[in-house]
Amino acid sequence: MEIVWSGHSCFTVRGKETTLVFDPCPPEVGCASRWGSPQAVLISHSHPGHSFTSALTGTPRIFCGPGEYEVGGAFITGIGAYHDTEQGAERGKNTVYVVEMEGLTLCHVGDLGHALTTSTLRDFGKVDILFVPVGDVSTLSVAEARTLTRALQPRYVLPMHYRTETSRPDLEPLDTFVAAMGIPQAEVRPKLLVTATNLPLNMQVVALPCDSRAG
């Protein structure tokens, strides 16, 4: 499995049979303007920075809400949540996606804006790869992102929704989350290549550069 980041909360996950795109963003927010022809697109909420589907080609299935779905061997569960601490009254709803694919479990929490209950976390099961917002604004606080990460104990943590050259300037930089996690620095890789048999023994925070060649 190959995972690349296109900025903001957008990731492309390429498996042997299936390609998924999470939260496609416009180029002025991220860095890619195309993602080729994925089999499925998973949108956490309909805000413009997370639902830019006009650059997609082909006929991908587009999911934007809770439910259970299957695409090419990827089993997808959308779990209802909120973009704020007021049950959506301020910024609306948000969908957390848990994907079982090629023996791995991925969890993309979108713009989750509140702490999750213990029972909800238990429903996630064992998470191998966590995509978590760490910019502190309009989503989890840095402390809440750290708490969620430590509760799930994934093998890989892929930070998203933090300050970059193209993001909104009020977001916290990645270093703030890294310091909160008590680690010297994130490991920088051009892409994450992972299989069910090569997972690290201990949790790793991996920073992926924005890949403009996502398509």
pLDDT band (50, 70, 90) for residue 213: low
pLDDT in tens, 80-109: 998 999 988 888 899 999 999 999 999 999
User: Tell me, what's the pLDDT at 105?
Assistant: 98
Residues 127-151 have a mean pLDDT of 96
Domains detected in the chain:
2-207 (3.60.15.10)
User: Tell me, what's the pLDDT at 33?
Assistant: 63
Residue 55, C-beta contacts closer than 8 angstroms, at least 6 positions apart: 24, 33, 34, 35, 215
User: Tell me, what's the pLDDT at 35?
Assistant: 74
Q: How many residues does the chain have?
A: 215
Residue 45 confidence (pLDDT) above 60: yes
pLDDT in tens, 7-41: 999 999 999 999 999 999 988 888 876 677 899 99
Residues 43-63 have a mean pLDDT of 91
Residue 79, token pair as written in the block: 């779990």
Q: Look over the chain and give the mean of its residue pLDDT values, rounded to a whole number.
A: 92
Return the percent helix, strand and coil in the chain, to nearest 5.
15, 30, 55
User: Tell me, what's the pLDDT at 57?
Assistant: 86
Residue 122, token pair as written in the block: 């238990």
pLDDT in tens, 154-198: 999 999 999 987 777 889 999 999 999 999 999 999 999 999 999
- Closest C-alpha among 62, 54, 72 to residue 95: 62
Residue 46, token pair as written in the block: 């309909």
Residue 215 confidence (pLDDT) above 80: no
pLDDT in tens, 106-124: 999 999 999 999 988 988 8
User: Tell me, what's the pLDDT at 34?
Assistant: 67
d(CA 69, CA 104): 16
User: Tell me, what's the pLDDT at 212?
Assistant: 64
Residue 200 confidence (pLDDT) above 90: yes
